[in-house]
Structure 1
Amino acid sequence: MSLTAAASGFVVVLLSVSVIQGQYGWGVTYRSTEICALKGSTVDIRCTYRYPPRTLSGYTTVVKAFWFAKMNRNEPVDLKTDPEYSGRVQYICSNNDCTLRITHLRESDSAKYTFRFITDQERGKYTGSPGVTLSVTVTEPPKVQVHRSLSTTSLMCVSSCYGPTSFIWFKNGEKIHENSWYRYPGDGGHADKYTCAVRGCEKFPSPPVYAPIRPSVSVSPSVSVSPSAEILEGSSVTLTCSSDANPAATYTWYKKNGDPDLQPLSKKTQLVFSSIQSSDSGEYHCTAENELGRRTSEYISINVTYAPKLPSVSLSPSAEIVEGSSVTLTCSSDANPAANYTWYKKNEDSPKTSGQIFTITDFRAEHSGNYSCEAQNRRGRNKTTVHLTVAVNSTMIMNIIRVTVVVLMLIPLLVLNLWIRKKKTLSSTTEPQEPVEMTELDSCPAYEDVSDFTAAQTEDTEQQEDML
């Protein structure tokens, strides 16, 4: 059987099928013919020997029992007398059992070790061939390999030692199985830890394997991440996902956007924003996954803050401002955090008011001018200016238009009347005096002078206004 030690002071315990060699009642049984042990550890090589308790010469007594690895002139050399093993060899023998213990193993201790005993009977010597082969190696304790298929995941315990080896499996330190293979139950969400060890070496198990624990998210540069991370727009920001897992986990980043089938943003440990924008605000989480399971982090809210954008101003009512009317100005700006608003009028030192809405209840000519709305938050400020002016009275404009139209219509009639008068005057000076029948034009009244015409026109205009 192959056994692995993990550290100095570790005793390799030998358990395997017995190997018996002997005849006529003489023999040696080794617990194993091959042993693997770590450099610096301690190994126990065990055997049981037997011999005839009585011969024709009498009772048999063992006068010497020892282990050897070398021969000197065809005679075995007792390990206790070998300088290379000085202070590192111990025999533990009783009731026909004898164990060789070698401490502080060296790579040079790799050899075949044989047990020999001598009795008080003539020719009562016996060597237990073929002995036990010890391999001292510089290696690690057993390792767990994960084998994953479509339906199952299996764990395999692997040792670099030679020879047949029996393994024991542990879950969170509790023994659960004996075999080189263990079928993983698929409960990786609980982050249970699984180890294996060579039978008899349970105190020196393999490194544990386990599904990822719940990942954590960190933000760089360091900011508070609970409940949200507040970051200035344009900054360079890195989100890092980390989880304890063996085998090592792979990571995936997601952004919550209302889509039940979230699409991954990145499959790296870090999610990097070289110049973060307001559109990057939102909730992010990451997953950590290995062959044994998958875990998801809590959401982290990224809040990208920025100074107010250029404000816009709306006017109500949106038509021309009539003197005496009420005017409402509304200012709005995209900002995070929300902006505060202040209103100013050009050439005035003090602000008119604060707030998003500014109302002038009785607009007069003196209210005309340039008004500014300033939006401000802790990230900065921005300003927009609008010009307000009172409109000319519409009734006065309509009267002027009506008078002008009437005057333009009457000018031709006045010219015709003057021409007729002039013609009559010329006729009276060039022809004999005869009665002339004059016909008055009903549709064209005659006026004695311009003042009469003006008075009549004014009366007509007043009548039209009364009708309107």
Structure 2
Amino acid sequence: MSLTAQKDFVIFVILLFGFQVSQSGEVSEWGGKYAQETICGLTGTTVILNCSFWYPQMHNGQIIKVERTLWFTKGANDQPEDLRKDFKYTDRLDLNCQVNWCTLSIRELRKSDEGKYKFKFITNATGGQYTVMSGVTLKVTDLNIQKSWWYRTPNLSCHSECDLDSPSYIWYENGRKRLDLNSKEITASSNYLSYSCALRGHEQHLSPPVCWGPSCDKVVYLYKSICALKGSDVDIACTYGHHKTVREKSWFRPDNGNTWNVPSVSSTWQLDQRYFTTDVDGKRSGLLIKNVTESDSAEYRFKFSEWGSDLPGTILTVTAAQVQVIKAENKDSDTVALLSCHTSCSPASYLYWCWVKDGHENVGRPTWKKEQIITLRPGEYITCAVENYPLSVSPPLYALEAPRVLLSNKSDILEGDLLTLTCIADTPTSSRHRWYKKCRTSDCEVMRYGEKLVFSSIQSSDSAEYFCAVENDLGEKMSQSVVIDVKYAPRFSNLLVSPSNVTEGQPVNLTCSSDANPAASYTWYKDQTMLQGSERNYVFNSIRAEDGGSFYCKAHNKYGNVISSQVVVDIQYVPRLPSISARPFSHVSMGFSVRLTCTSDANPAASYFWFKDNEESPNSMGAVFNIINFQLHNEGAYHCEARNVRGSRRATLLLREENFRSWLQGALTVVAVRYAIAGILLILLIVTVLLFWKKTTSKGRMHFKSQPNTSEDSSRDQLEELMVFSEHSPIHSNVTNNKTDHNEDDYENVVDTVIKCGGQASG
């Protein structure tokens, strides 16, 4: 059975057994059982030991709970020694215990790990502890090669004392990997060749080489792996064999090509300040590395001129102490933590651990116990080390202080600028950094990791509050937030008119809006002329027709400006009082045509309707009304009504006729106007002649008085007739009342026009 399959089978058995125990109800006895009482593992691999257990649920009215579990190989059943405290198992054990079962994993198996392992659990009940007897016997073995002959054919077999489940093998011939040889048994090629085998996936733990023949070329490393503390000296050694004289020997690192030559005589040769090579009798070679550091961690191999090897060498792991936080909590401003000092691998020596605060204050004496409770104030740090290994001191673990945020820009932050936020921590930068953008909710997602938060081209949408956090294994500290306010010039300017349909006399609000930081100021324009006012609203409390026009606004701050598109404010109003005219306006004879025209100022444009007298239906529509062949029945009052969606207004024209005398009086009135002065002069002349004649003809005076004065009567009659004609104006001109009343919806203008009837019109 393979190691993986073996592990899966064991876990299945544990779960199945645990299920059976849980189904059995409340048990009344103490007990336990191991999944396997014997287990075998290859050197360098991992084995898992398993045990299920049970106990009463109640004891003397008390609920029983498991408080402690452990595995041990030493000590009596009542006083066992916990494996976790045995230095030779340091950092190689994993303990996983649940309600009714517990597993123990042992990594990097060594021959010294062989023995019998037992499990014990301790409860809260008085005397409530139990050791599962019999235990698990662990056997650790290596692979080895067995020789045999089959009809004079030399056969080699890769053998293990462990029962392996369908393993896959790798073979090395004379130090070279043979990919075509992957079965458990192979046939040897010829004499003077060495052979080794390994399990695929565990090439580091191969079998010792065997020679087919009296001698062969081979290399055997004394240690497959070495764990060393930083600052110690490490000796990597191997034995080698050869069937010919070896001319050149060297140690090398496959990962970077470093090579250290070995002198041809048995001596020590210093390569540099830290590396030394040795050779003893042409059979044993060594590489000594003094004062090792983490950079020396690598695989090291040995080769000689007649033989280059693919065989895995010795893996060196250099480790320093590390502080591991098991549990930490804050008490006021201090941090109280349970810490453990550990290494990444287990050196083959018994270690004592030292704890130092702030680099000078020893916390207790060196002790073999790895765990320690430490109290730290903000800014203090703790280190641990292995006694007598000063270079193995762990990196410091700090109790963090709150960080600060530093901005790269000291002045205004403009859109498009490069902005860098730096999280400044007084503790070393080994702490982990996170950036947050302040949220309205309590849960804020991490925005970015790292010491710096960089905006290559910051945008207005990035305006917010930011803060950073530093974190290590002891906890987290937050900075105070900083406000990022990105400035920018007005991006756009919109002009909105409310209401959208404007009527004369109503309030109107013009609003200019713009996105800007800082907020924009505004300048207003009408028909390219700047208006008074700098607010975003321009208000008409009662708008007039003359207030209409093309408006636009300019939004501006200290970073720039932008102009809105133009908006035409079109003010609608009721038609003004119509004006009526007649053509011709005089000397129109019966049978001629009359053209009446009506005009009115309106928005939207007015429609015109003509009514005669008191008729309800219009006689005509349109601004012009033509009367063809004017007759007596056409006289009367003509009304023009101007209409639009906002209302209507009306004006009236009077058309009337008179008899021929009226027409003659009208004509004489015109003549009298022309000859008024001549008539007056004629009368004065006649009176003067009569007075003179009266004085000079005294004798015939009486006679004269008795005779009628025909010429004087005629003149007087003519004057009276002339005056009668002057009393009646033959033509009433088109008088239009141009007075406008914006608050009057219906106002009638009456124009009296006389159309002369009978006879021809004179020019």
Query: What TM-score comes out, normalization by structure 1 length?
Result: 0.49
The structure that has the greater radius of gyration is: 2
Greater relative contact order (Cα 8 A, min sep 6): structure 1 or 2? 1
Q: TM-score, normalised by structure 2?
A: 0.33
